Chains A and B, each alone.
Chain A
Amino acid sequence: MSDYSFSELSSIFLMQGFAGLSLFSVLLLMALGLAIIFGQMGVVNLAHGEFMALGAYTVYLCSSLVHSYAPALAGSYFVFAIVIAFLVSALAGYLAEWGLIRHLYKRPLDTLLATWGLSLIMQQAFRMTFGAREVTPTLPEWLMGSFKPTDSIDIPINGVFVMGLTLLLTLGVWIFMYRSRLGLHMRATVQNRAMSGAVGIRTPLVDRLTFALGTGIAGVAGAAFTTIGSTGPDSGSRYIVDTFLVVVFGGTASLFGTIASAFGIAQGQSITGFFLEGTMGKVAILMVIVVVLMIRPQGLFSSKVRS
């Protein structure tokens, strides 16, 4: 580190920090969905990354359709594409819950295997539909380019957009979970299924909607992801371990913990990634997380709910 001057170092930290913020946004968007599915419902959804990829491919499809049939909408389609990505992924999640997950609630380890199987099938389906090569949707003009506050600092607009989206969605999820009736039903079902059923909540439907909400958010994560990277059939699986670690590290069932750990992990990876060679930054961060989890298995912020 001594090879860099102070001003260079501070620029590096700022820019790597900003790159870390983009990674943080994607991790947080994925982890939000997973925190609902895994943290609240206890379902280990290893296909979560594929629901994200589904969202990304949906945006790609929208972009191709708009550019070949309605080029006039090229500037504004992206906002609608995000909504469509949410709906498509949520629908896929709804079907997956109905067809597969609901049979396995009592066997969490088996869910893990089944969803891994689902992820393989989805990956192969992507590969056969969209090809093995990575694709990128044509982004609207206003997402390109970057701010340049000073000479050595360069902040891309798409990163800012993704962060804004993340902020909005996090707020939305919080309001939904803690201020809406359906959110109340979801939390009630998670805490005590039998009692919730007894007071008239349709728990099977709530389960299905909760799962669909989680995968839908993964779809939005995928849509956001298209602005900062290209999408391939295995894009989702590349993030799945990180995402699970974010949720576990932050302490399941704690929205604040998820945000904090996504921030810590993303910043750690981004900054160590600059100074350590290649993948070793990621290795270092992952090892720190695993060691911390061995010492403190309940994660950083555990919610005080009796199980």
Chain B
Amino acid sequence: MNTFVERFLGGRRGLVNLAILALLLLVVLPLSLSVFRLNLVGKYLTFAFVALGLVMLWGKGGVLSLGQGVFFGLGGYCMATFLKLEASDPVSTAIQSTPGIPDFMDWNQLKALPALWIPFKSLPFSLLATVLVPSLVAFVIGYAMFKRRVGGVYFAIITQALALILSLGIDGNQGLTGGRNGITDLRTLWGWDIRTQHAQYILYFVTCALLLLCIVGLQWLLSGKLGKMLLAMSEREDRVRFSGYDVSMYKVFSFCLAAALSGIGGALFVLQVGFISPSLVGIVPSIEMVIFAAVGGRGSLFGAIYGTLLVSAGKSLFSESFPQLWLFCMGGLFIAVVVLFPNGLAGLFDQLGERILPWLKRRRESAAAAPATLEPAIETPSEKGASS
């Protein structure tokens, strides 16, 4: 039992963090927000999957990918393909010149379903594809690059180019992918209408449950050999290599893992929001996902989730009321997070903890000596989480 707590939940501290997060996501937010806002939170949480992947890859592995939108998009497109096929049965598309194919294909004068789409008629295949397609792409890229010891800045630039390639490629192949508008008007998942409020509630909880499950799984991975290797590699990579370990394969694995997580996020995004488009794949969304992880704390799983929630909520709030200022804030945030607090919220929280705990202790001692003035001056940032 104890090893279970240690390995899966990250010890007592991890358990507390997990409990706070679960309480926030599963109880506090659903009770305090309207369905519309809750759906928004659900959407942000799908980005949190990407941020979790970035924590593994960048925070722990030291490799920054600026192309996580590619994997988010691949997962999303795999899911959307299935949903679109289900939404375009011959009955509801009877007015088209070729009934039974998605509407945008009909607009592009396609006469039959492209071969690439045919396997996506099956739900199990599509669900597997949301995880496997991104992982496979990541494997090919990661293997080619990490085996040649390409890393750091070069890897970042090349992954950024990938994000540009995929978003332009989707944009340019309108008949196959829906082009710039993306795949829209998705209705049902195996006959279950995903657009109702009820479905939105259920999908929100599914997202939360999967997210919590992913955290537990990642903590398990980090507590084992992978975690030790990543830590060792981030300290002295060449020594690890000279000790006979295949450093590159650990990096490839982290990259695939990050890609798979992003794919899951993308699929859940499509289910909750009901569309996918190249605007979620390109350079800008990919780098925004990095800032989520950076704000939360690049080395902290929990931090990444709070970072995602805070930045996305901030973005919605600001771009609603002061669209002009938002880009300044975002830019300032990028600079501040790098120059002022490189460990993000998690780092700030840890610092706060380090300062407050001894102070609290001293205060308690002095209060015990002279119990006269005790005011509840310390704010407990229960929402901000801590490092994992």
Question: Do A and B originate from a single complex?
Answer: yes
On A, residues with C-beta under 8 Å from B are: 42, 44, 100, 103-104, 107-114, 116-121, 123-124, 127-128, 241, 244-245, 248, 277-280, 282-283, 286-287, 289-290, 293-295, 297
Chain A residues, Cβ within 8 Å of B157: 44, 241, 244-245, 248
Which A residue sits closest to B156, measured CB to CB? A112
Chain B residues, Cβ within 8 Å of A121: 327-328, 331-332, 335
Asked if A117 and B154 sit within 8 Å, CB to CB, the answer is no
Chain B residues, Cβ within 8 Å of A108: 152-153
On B, residues with C-beta under 8 Å from A are: 58, 64, 66, 141, 144-145, 148, 150, 152-154, 156-158, 160-162, 164-165, 168-169, 171-173, 283, 287, 290-291, 294, 324, 327-328, 330-335, 337-339, 342
The contact sample of 10 A-B pairs, CB cut-off 8 A, is: A114-B335, A114-B338, A117-B331, A118-B331, A119-B331, A121-B327, A248-B158, A279-B168, A286-B165, A289-B161
CA distance A294 to B141 in the complex (A): 8
Which B residue sits closest to A124, measured CB to CB? B327
Per a CB cutoff under 8 Å, which of B162, B164, B337 touches A113?
B337
Per a CB cutoff under 8 Å, which of A114, A248, A286 touches B334?
A114
Per a CB cutoff under 8 Å, which of B148, B152, B165, B335 touches A287?
B165
Interchain nearest-CB distance for A272 vs B (Å): 12
CA distance A40 to B144 in the complex (A): 26
Which A residue sits closest to B337, measured CB to CB? A113
CA distance A286 to B152 in the complex (A): 20
Per a CB cutoff under 8 Å, which of B144, B171, B332 touches A279?
B171
Asked if B172 and A117 sit within 8 Å, CB to CB, the answer is no
Known: A109-B153, A120-B327, A282-B168. A100 touches B335 (CB 8 A): yes
Asked if A290 and B158 sit within 8 Å, CB to CB, the answer is yes
Known: A100-B335, A114-B338, A114-B339. A120 touches B172 (CB 8 A): no
Asked if B332 and A117 sit within 8 Å, CB to CB, the answer is yes
Per a CB cutoff under 8 Å, which of B148, B164, B169, B290 touches A241?
B164
Chain B residues, Cβ within 8 Å of A278: 171-172
Asked if A120 and B339 sit within 8 Å, CB to CB, the answer is no
Asked if A294 and B171 sit within 8 Å, CB to CB, the answer is no
Known: A113-B338, A114-B335. A297 touches B150 (CB 8 A): yes
Asked if A120 and B334 sit within 8 Å, CB to CB, the answer is yes
CA distance A103 to B335 in the complex (A): 11
CA distance A46 to B103 in the complex (A): 39
Chain B residues, Cβ within 8 Å of A283: 165, 168-169, 172
Chain B residues, Cβ within 8 Å of A295: 144
CA distance A295 to B150 in the complex (A): 11
Interchain nearest-CB distance for A198 vs B (Å): 27
Asked if A120 and B164 sit within 8 Å, CB to CB, the answer is no
Interchain nearest-CB distance for B145 vs A (Å): 6
Asked if A110 and B164 sit within 8 Å, CB to CB, the answer is no
Interchain nearest-CB distance for B110 vs A (Å): 15
Asked if A286 and B333 sit within 8 Å, CB to CB, the answer is no
Chain B residues, Cβ within 8 Å of A114: 334-335, 338-339
Asked if B161 and A245 sit within 8 Å, CB to CB, the answer is yes
Asked if A280 and B169 sit within 8 Å, CB to CB, the answer is yes
Interchain nearest-CB distance for A285 vs B (Å): 10
Closest 8 CB pairs of A and B: A117-B334, A120-B331, A121-B331, A124-B327, A294-B144, A117-B331, A117-B335, A297-B150
Asked if B154 and A290 sit within 8 Å, CB to CB, the answer is no
CA distance A279 to B342 in the complex (A): 38
Chain A residues, Cβ within 8 Å of B154: 248, 293, 297
Chain B residues, Cβ within 8 Å of A124: 324, 327-328, 331
Chain A residues, Cβ within 8 Å of B64: 109, 112
Interchain nearest-CB distance for A289 vs B (Å): 7
Which A residue sits closest to B66, measured CB to CB? A112
Which A residue sits closest to B162, measured CB to CB? A290
Interchain nearest-CB distance for B341 vs A (Å): 12
Which A residue sits closest to B150, measured CB to CB? A297
Which A residue sits closest to B145, measured CB to CB? A294
Interchain nearest-CB distance for A277 vs B (Å): 7
Q: Please give 20 more A-B residue pairs, beta carbons under 8 A apart, in addition to A104-B338, A244-B157, A294-B158.
A: A107-B342, A112-B64, A113-B287, A113-B294, A113-B334, A117-B330, A117-B333, A117-B334, A117-B335, A117-B338, A118-B331, A119-B331, A120-B327, A120-B331, A128-B324, A241-B164, A279-B172, A280-B169, A280-B173, A283-B172
Asked if A44 and B156 sit within 8 Å, CB to CB, the answer is yes
Interchain nearest-CB distance for A50 vs B (Å): 10
Chain A residues, Cβ within 8 Å of B291: 113
Which B residue sits closest to A44, measured CB to CB? B153
CA distance A245 to B160 in the complex (A): 10
CA distance A245 to B287 in the complex (A): 17
Chain A residues, Cβ within 8 Å of B173: 280
CA distance A59 to B333 in the complex (A): 31
CA distance A118 to B324 in the complex (A): 16
Best-buried of B145, B150, B164, B335 by chain A (most CB within 10 Å): B335
Per a CB cutoff under 8 Å, which of B145, B152, B158, B287 touches A116?
B287
Chain B residues, Cβ within 8 Å of A127: 327
Chain B residues, Cβ within 8 Å of A128: 324
